[in-house]
Structure formats: structure tokens, C-alpha cells
Homo-oligomer: A and B are copies of this chain.
Amino acid sequence: MHHNSPLNPQCPIGRSLERVGEWWTIHILREAFLGATRFDQFQKNLGIAPNMLTRRLNALVADGLLEKRPYSTRPLRHEYVLTAAGLDFRPVLWTIMAWGNKHFSPEGLAIQLVDSATGTPAEPQLIDRHSGRPLTWPAFRTVAGPAADARTKSRYPVWPATTPQPTSPTAGSADAADAA
């Protein structure tokens, strides 16, 4: 799963992808969120080859996203349970789901997020927890943080920003592509 990369080893996106940037891995995590804990549950729901599933589950355990623990001693059987870091992946899954629902579901929504109490459909939006403002570019942008090395600083504005950036929203044009 860990890809030997010429890319920036400091990049938090890269570090996340090292752990989940693989098609099966994200599906395994989704199954875990749907309640699967046992090998045969994952296998049945995903139709994945056992050796592949074993490899992916072990990698998720090694990366601290699943915890492997015995649920039976005779015979010895293990289950796989989401850790705190694994549970924190839920917003990523839900954001991916919202993007897929918006752009790749021309026939309508097959799976959607709702308020559990009322069934009202929810619409995910990313905000800044501190200010409550929508987390959109260019009002917000990525910069080099305190732990940035020279390579990272060469590609991102240095933190804290020395020059205020434009805050008027623009989108849908090539001009929108000059900051992550």
C-alpha cells in the first residue's frame, strides 16, 4: 500500500493517500462504517479475493485505522473495528459521497445523507469551525505550515501569509486554478 513516491513526503494529502489511496481500502473502510467487523462479512459484501482482503486489512491495522481483536478464543477468531483515526475518516467518505451524488448520479440519488431523526436530506458543506464561514477558495487557501521544509516552502506561500490574498470568490475558470 505504501507507494514509493518522488512526491513531497510532507504533504498531508500524500500521507493520507499512502494509507487509503487505493480503491479497495476505501471500500473496506466504508464497509466498516456500515457495520462489518469480521473477515467473512467484508469478503461477502465486497466480493474481494481473500488474500487481497487479508493484505488490505493488515495494512489498515498497521496504519492504525482498524484494530484487530479477538472475539472468540476457541477457535481463535478476530474482528476488525474502526479506531478513532478510522472513525475520523467518515467526513472524507461523506464528502466523496456528496461529490459523487452531485456529479455522477444523473438518474437521481441511490444513497444519500439524511437527518437520522426526521429523514430530511442533508447537504454537506465544509466550513471553518472557528469563524463558521464556508471553507472555500480563495477566501481560504493552503500555505506552508510551521513544520514545512524547504521543498514545501518552495511550493506554498509561507505561513503566516505575508501578503493578504484576494478574498472575492471566483470559480469555474482557469484563474481559479492558481491555489489549492
Contacts and interface: CB of A to CB of B under 8 A. Distances in A.
Interface string A138-156: 1111111111110010011
Given A96-B13, A177-B35, A113 B140 contact: yes
A172 B140 contact: no
Interface residues of A, number: 111
Nearest to A138: B116
Interface of A: 3, 6-7, 10-17, 19, 21-23, 26-27, 30, 32-37, 45-47, 64, 79, 81-85, 87-105, 107-120, 122-131, 135-149, 152, 155-156, 159-161, 164-167, 171-174, 176-180
Given A15-B100, A82-B176, A114-B160, 5 more contacts: A84-B171, A87-B172, A110-B145, A117-B167, A126-B127
